[in-house]
Chains A and B, each alone.
Chain A
Amino acid sequence: MPKWFMPLAGVNAVMFAAAPFIIARADYEATMGLVQKIFYYHMPSASMFLLSAVICGIASARFLFGGSPRQDRLAHAAAELAVLFGAITLVTGPLWARKAWGVWWAWDVRLTSSLMGWMVAWAYLLVRKYGGPGSDKLAAGLALFGMANVPFVYISVNYWRTIHPKTSVVPTLPADMGTALWFSFVCFLLLFTLLLRLRVHLEEQRARLDALYLSLDE
Chain B
Amino acid sequence: MLKQTAKTRRHSGIFGVLLAVVIGIGVSAQQPQPQPAPPAATDEFVPISQLPPQDQLPAAPLLIGAYAFVWVALFGYLLSVGRRLTKVQTEVERLDAQIAKGTRA
- B99:A198 contact, CB within 8 angstroms: no
Among B48, B49, B66, B78, the residue within 8 A (CB) of A95 is B66
Q: How near does chain B come to A185, taking the closest CB pair, in angstroms?
A: 14
Interface residues on B, range: 20 to 34
User: A99, B59: Cβ atoms under 8 Å?
Assistant: yes
A-B contacts counted at CB < 8 A amount to 78
B49 to A: closest C-beta gap in Å: 7
**Does B22 belong to the interface (CB within 8 Å)?**
no
On whether the beta carbons of A99 and B62 are closer than 8 Å, the reply is: yes
Query: Does B77 touch A at the CB level, under 8 Å?
Result: yes
Does A209 count as interface, using CB distance less than 8 angstroms? yes
- Contact between chains at B62 and A38 (CB < 8 Å): yes
Known contacts A33-B49, A202-B81: A212-B96 contact under CB 8 Å: yes
Q: Within the complex, what minimum Cβ distance (angstroms) separates B70 from chain A? A: 5
A168 CB-CB contact with B under 8 Å: no
**A130 contacts B by Cβ under 8 Å:** no
Q: Is the CB of A34 within 8 A of B60?
A: yes
By a CB distance below 8 angstroms, the chain A residues around B57 are 98-99
Contact A95 B95 (CB under 8 A): no
B84: A residues at CB distance < 8 A: 202
Answer whether residue B23 sits at the interface, using C-beta atoms and an 8 A cutoff: no
CB-defined A-B contacts under 8 Å, sample of 8: A20-B67, A35-B62, A41-B66, A88-B70, A202-B81, A209-B95, A212-B96, A213-B95
